Amino acid sequence: MDETTLDGLSKVAKICFARNAKVEALEAEAQALKLELLTLAGTGACNGFTAGEQAAALHIRQGDAAREVWEQRFAPLAAATSDRLKRVSIVDPYAVTRHVIEQKEELTRFLTYLSTSSQKTKHVSVYALQPFRENRPIPSGEIIAELRHLRDNNALPRIASLTVYLAGGQRINRDRFVMFGDHYVWDLGHGLEPFEADIVTRDCAASLKTWDAAKSYADIIDSMTGDVRAIPVWGP
């Protein structure tokens, strides 16, 4: 894909900036591709910027529809076809315990939305605490078997791989966030919990971090990688 053409840009973006002299010549093509075409001076009037800024600044509220939370905040990143965004990292200490032990639905719902919105396959990593039952760690085989049920009936066709990284209580950061590629992060106060049900059950702090602001989150993942146990669930 050539991301320097308007057609290429339309696969990964909703807004495009051009020099004043180029805007008029490109306007018709941009409209056909549903791209907002602006000069830098026009940023303040940009519908896409306004909607994006509003979503990035608003916390997730009790009573919000989980699907709308996904569409407003995560779907544009999930839909991007750039290879730079094919990796999705979920850092949530409680995600595996809540799925395997408590039978909560947020991991299932999040991955379902991700697969549905994605135009290309994604490779997902989940960083979490080792789940225990009656003070004993749950064996890897049981965790794998439980997570593989996510693909029952050919579900999650766009999730090419799922790998879980499990750590002891002292070896995982307590931050909770979702990272797309290396430069886009949704910091989530309660991790994936807003996706536990069709309707959000409690308020959740949420903020979007990009580029330089996202680097510290990449550093968190890098710092955990050597201290956790990798469990390939499916895929390469």
Segment among 51-55, 107-111, 203-207 with least mean pLDDT: 51-55
The confidence score (pLDDT) of residue 223 equals 84
For residue 190, what is the enclosing H or E element? none
Report the CATH fold assignment for 59-234: Endonuclease; Chain A (3.30.870)
Q: Which has the closest alpha carbon to 163: 89, 113, 104, 100?
A: 89
Whole-model pTM: value is 0.79
pLDDT confidence band for 228 (50 / 70 / 90): confident
Q: Which two tokens stand for residue 228?
A: 């956790």
pLDDT at position 19 is: 56
Q: Is residue 78 within 8 Å of residue 113, measured between CB atoms?
A: yes
Q: Provide CATH 3.30.870.10 ranges for the chain.
A: 59-234
pLDDT value at residue 202: 96
pLDDT band at 176 (very low <50, low <70, confident <90, very high): very high
Instruction: Tell me phi and psi for residue 178, to 5 degrees.
Output: -125, 130
CA distances from 93 to 191, 197, 212 (A): 8, 19, 24
Check if the beta carbon of residue 111 is closer than 8 Å to that of residue 159: yes
Please report the sign of the dihedral spanned by the C-alpha atoms of residue 37, residue 41, residue 45, residue 49: positive
